[in-house]
Amino acid sequence: MTTEESPAAEDIIICRDVHKWFGSFHALRGITTSVSAGEVVVVIGPSGSGKSTFIRTINRLEHHQRGQIIVDGFEMTDDVRNIDAIRREVGMVFQSFNLFPHLTVMRNITLAPTKVRHTPMADAEDAAMELLERVGIPEQADKYPGELSGGQQQRVAIARALAMQPKIMLFDEPTSALDPEMIKEVLEVMQELAASQMTIVAVTHELGFAREVSDRIVMFDEGQIVEDLPPDDFFNNPRHERVRHFLSQIL
């Protein structure tokens, strides 16, 4: 961060009364929350509670039908320029990695910088190599995604998102598709990222990660936010019975 002011002073994501319907199903029912720059927010909740839908509205992979979402000063509307501007600033990591199987690891990472930001290829490749070192797999640069393990693929996906130098990183259940021994290597990368003052919104069931790394834990249930507390309070004295119930089920 180059600014002198404290990161918490500035809300980089603002949601006001966000509603979303899939057909007649009311998936998000009036979400109001904000995330300040540099904050790490973990979103948890039972499946079908709208948590994935919520973070997908932040870069408009889903569009909301009512309310307001302002990301980095741009309001999310149907204006394509705003959406494209936001998507350049917001990186996303998916549960199923979604690497491009027909491109090498290196090309997966350099594609967006060269095509969207028009970075010269040589510079993009240097940056990609640095990112691969950061996520711990520089030796895999010339392989294809299909030749990597799940944990390695997810780390490439993180490097690919970081290559656009985003201000915000969204994680949509990044470890749910991984074997236990691979979860750790991905969480370590996320932990390092959180320590670097990146703004992070992560949907995850990894409560250990939530407890150690996050600034806030937000719990969704039936399309609403039912709890929004710092991790200590969330685990030790939640205000809602539903949180206790949820924790008792997954702990």
Partner 1 sequence: MASASQVAEPVLPPRSEVGVAGWARENLFGSWYSGILTVVSAAAVVLAIWFGLRWTLMSANWDVVGIIGGRFIIGGYNTDQACPGNDCFWRPQAALLMVTALLGMLWVVAAGGVVKRVAIAAAAAAALSAFLPYSMERMGLDVRLLLLANVPALAIGWALARYTPLGTGRWVAVYGVVVFLLTIILLRGSSDISFAAGPLRLHIPMPDLLRPVPTLYWGGLTLNLLLAVAGIAMSLPLGIALALGRRSHLPVVKILCVIFIEVFRGVPLITILFMSQHLVPLAFPENFPRNSLFSAGVMITLFSSAYMAENIRGGLQSLHPGQAEAARALGLAGWQTTLFISLPQAVRNVIPTIVGQFISLFKDTSLVYIIGMVDIVEIGRTFILGNPEYRVSTKEVFIFISIVFWAFTYGMSYVSRQLERTLGVGER
Binding residues (CB under 8 A) for partner 1: these are 59, 61, 84, 87-88, 90-92, 94, 96, 98-102, 104, 111-112, 115-116, 143-147, 157, 160-161, 164
Cβ proximity to partner 1: between 171 and 234 the closer is 171
* Min dist. Cβ of residue 37 to partner 1 (A): 20
- Main-chain phi, psi angles of 13, to 5 degrees: -125, 125
Q: How far is CA 80 from CA 57, 62, 101, 213, in A?
A: 14, 14, 27, 34
* Min dist. Cβ of residue 6 to partner 1 (A): 29
Cβ proximity to partner 1: between 55 and 226 the closer is 55
The kind and range of the H/E element at 86 are helix 80-89
Burial of 192 (0-12, 13-18, 19+ CB in 10 A): middle
Cβ proximity to partner 1: between 35 and 217 the closer is 35
* Min dist. Cβ of residue 119 to partner 1 (A): 12
Cβ proximity to partner 1: between 50 and 91 the closer is 91
* Min dist. Cβ of residue 188 to partner 1 (A): 22
Q: How far apart are the first and last CA of the chain?
A: 36
Under 8 Å between Cβ of 50 and 44: no
